[in-house]
Structure 1
Amino acid sequence: MNTLIRFVKSLVKFSANLIAGVGLVIVCCGLFVLYNKVGIDYQELYHTNAEWLKTLQQYVFIILGVLIFLTGCAGVYGSRKNPKFQKSCLMCYQIGALTFFVLCTGLATFTLLYSDDVFGIECQGTAQFQKIDSQIHQAEQLLCSNPCQCYITQETYENNKEIFKGKNYTTQEDSQVKITQVQKCPSYQADQFTAAVSIMQAAESLLHCSGWCNPTKYYLFSDINDFDSFIGTSCFKETKDFVESTGRFMGFVLFGLGILFGMNLIMVILLCCTKEKDRRNDHLIYDY
């Protein structure tokens, strides 16, 4: 029995260290997303959201990582030799493990079952998608038009003369106003492009696509001169593929974390119950 207890203690300590490490990794990812913004202009992305929701979206990874890290630390400390507040630490670890077990397995089940159905099959399958597509067409008509002269580099012009034929553009490098995205147009109204800008700027920057149902000939919401990363596919297709593949990946990761938390929950219960039953040999547990 004592050998079993020592073995379970070792497993709890190892798993708690692993969980604390996972928490640190998530915190680092959260800090990277927050300070590098991964190519997303948060001012544009959140201009219609409540301030508290903006803050929650930016800090969610950090908050989650800190909670997982503290849960792991409680397990590490509680599995040491005769620490103070051992029962309290193991209880916190147990509650944290149970909470994240339910959360991870629930999210894993949801993402694995429904990630392929988020976007559906049709590009204009929802009213929101129809709105996005309509606003993109409006943005395409506005950028490089009479009300909004765009700036393209000489290299961009030389390589894409046919694309910009009939457009209102300038290649003058000393131009005072250099408009390279529709958001900079004088007649641009944020409320007019709310649905499109919230997803297209991120999609263009991260997935290198353009347009929604049908690809546009150049970026509208990021940088019109960036043809090096431009792959010429529609953002509906790229975003759908990204969500489905990421959903499956995250589902398996969350499922693995759920198993880890579940095993820790069982081991802590086993450890506590065995110790309660065999208190007379308590000193043997900490001899090693």
Structure 2
Amino acid sequence: MNFKLLKKFAIITNSLLLLAGLFFIIYPTIIYQEYAYGIYSNNLFTEILIFGIVLGVFVMLWSIFGVLAVQKSKIMMQAAYNVGMIMLFLLSIAILAISCVVQYQVPNYKNDEDCTQQSVLIQLKQLNFKSSQTLCQNECLCNFQGTQSQADNLGITNYDNKDSNPVRVQDCQIFENFNLENQNDNSSILQLFEEVFGCSGFCSQNSYYLFSDLNNGIPNGDCKAHVINFVEDNILALVISSSLITALLLSCIIVNVLFYLESLKSRYSSK
């Protein structure tokens, strides 16, 4: 292949990586703006945003490094760049594979409307049901900060305004006696859902929060519905974008490896 033409291709593909870097910054920012203003400002989407910005900046800087390596025709720089590209390519493949698996599985979880078929959904439903019969009920005195009328409207029957009382079901002594499968991990999952989506309940809707802080207001729906909607809204875009980025990275690797080999050939043939 013509060396000058190959060099142009290498510069073009490296420059296109800047777009991939921008995507890693812009897309998490959009997600953050849409979902990060729930009960807590410091939540999962903040971490996603930070990861996206760090990865995006790294990709952009690496693309600049690739252009410099091509322009200067430095063998060691090109070798280092290609190793980094292969690592990015493997990461991209992993993201694409996970995205495809999630997209394939979503209908199975969505169609399990009563949470009676998928084991994870069954566990979350059982834990939520048991917790709804515990926190602020006869088995667990809670620290509810509202009035008696508000407590009655929410179905709260056992409460007292003392800071020593639990505000989430995980703080109830009886919680450890539930003996449900994966209950500690699942309670963390349900707490995350409540904090991120402002929901409470699973295949049901609770009138107050169970796994975060019951005084945070009134939940806005069933957590399962919120999670499914979130995944459906974003998974197709993630599959398409990760496919395009994976293809771009593969193109960059092929072109830059060819350029590296041509550089080696040119270097040693001139000796």
- What's the TM-score once normalised by structure 1's chain length? 0.67
Partner of 1:4: 5
- CA distance in 2 between counterparts of 1:73 and 1:118 reads 43
% identity of equivalent residues: 19
- CA distance in 1 between counterparts of 2:211 and 2:92 reads 40
Match of 1:150 among 142, 147, 150: 142
Which structure 2 residues correspond to residues 211-230 of structure 1 after superposition, within 5 A? 211-227=201-217, 230=219
Match of 1:234 among 209, 222, 225: 222
Partner of 1:55: none
TM-aligned CA distance change 1:252 to 1:160, over 3 Å: farther
Asked if the contact 2:75/2:263 (under 8 Å) is kept, the reply is: no
Alpha-carbon deviation of 1:143? 0.9
- CA distance in 1 between counterparts of 2:173 and 2:77 reads 64
C-alpha distance after superposition, 1:62-102 (max 9, x if no partner): 9x949x75965763553241436145224414533553454
TM-aligned CA distance change 1:183 to 1:24, over 3 Å: same
Partner of 2:15: 14
- What is the count of residue pairs matched by the alignment? 251
Asked if the contact 2:199/2:226 (under 8 Å) is kept, the reply is: yes
Unaligned stretches of 5+ residues in structure 2 = none
TM-aligned CA distance change 1:185 to 1:109, over 3 Å: closer
C-alpha distance after superposition, 1:6-55 (max 9, x if no partner): 422322442455566777899x99xxx9xx86169xxxxxxxxxxxxxxx
Partner of 1:81: 72
Structure 2 residue 77 is the aligned partner of structure 1 residue 92: no
Alpha-carbon deviation of 1:201? 0.7
Structure 2 residue 172 is the aligned partner of structure 1 residue 185: yes
Structure 2 residue 26 is the aligned partner of structure 1 residue 38: no
Structure 2 residue 240 is the aligned partner of structure 1 residue 252: yes
Asked if the contact 2:168/2:210 (under 8 Å) is kept, the reply is: yes
Partner of 1:161: 152
Unaligned stretches of 5+ residues in structure 1 = 41-57, 283-288
Partner of 1:245, secondary structure, is helix
Partner of 2:66, secondary structure, is helix
Structure 2 residue 132 is the aligned partner of structure 1 residue 131: no
Partner of 2:133, secondary structure, is helix
TM-aligned CA distance change 1:134 to 1:118, over 3 Å: closer
Partner of 1:117: 108
Partner of 1:43: none
241-250 or 202-211, larger mean C-alpha shift? 241-250
TM-aligned CA distance change 1:157 to 1:7, over 3 Å: farther
The aligned amino acid for 2:72 is K
- What's the TM-score once normalised by structure 2's chain length? 0.71
C-alpha distance after superposition, 1:204-228 (max 9, x if no partner): 1111221111111111111111125
TM-aligned CA distance change 1:151 to 1:133, over 3 Å: same
Partner of 2:249: 261
Alpha-carbon deviation of 1:133? 1.7
The aligned amino acid for 1:89 is A
